[in-house]
Amino acid sequence: MLGSGRTDKSSDNKTKLILCLTLTFFIAEFSLGIVRFWKLFYNPDAVVVKFLNCFSYLFSLFLSGYTSTHLLICFLMSSQYRQTFKSTVFCNSISKAKNKKMSVISVSPAIN
């Protein structure tokens, strides 16, 4: 039963990772959407729009940083993600090399 404690902790860490990444993405994307929505109702020359543009740039920068680090964080935290990434990048050539089994299926015509 020593292994089950480690599995629970690993599962708990992955759950926290997914929750953190989801909330971070939601906060960045939702805030950016709200700012861009508010900009629709104001004159482009208004001071409010210039203020909203500052927030738009800030949230865009935050979203870009999140997006660029997302792959790295997932790659470092999850062995399943690493395996999937490798099989996708190398077009499943790794898994095909491991499974070089060949089978022969004979087919006979059905007689009615």
**Hunting for tokens 């790659």 — which residue is that?**
75
**Hunting for tokens 């865009």 — which residue is that?**
60
Q: Tokens for 94?
A: 């790794």
What CA–CA distance (Å, rounded) separates 28 from 54?
Answer: 14
- Residue 103 confidence (pLDDT): 63
Look at the pTM and tell me if it is higher than 0.85.
no
Average pLDDT over residues 56-66: 88
Average pLDDT over residues 18-29: 85
For residues 32 and 58, is the Cβ–Cβ distance under 8 A?
Answer: no
Q: What is the 8-class DSSP label of residue 46?
A: S
Where in the chain are the domains? 2-95
What CA–CA distance (Å, rounded) separates 43 from 98?
Answer: 63
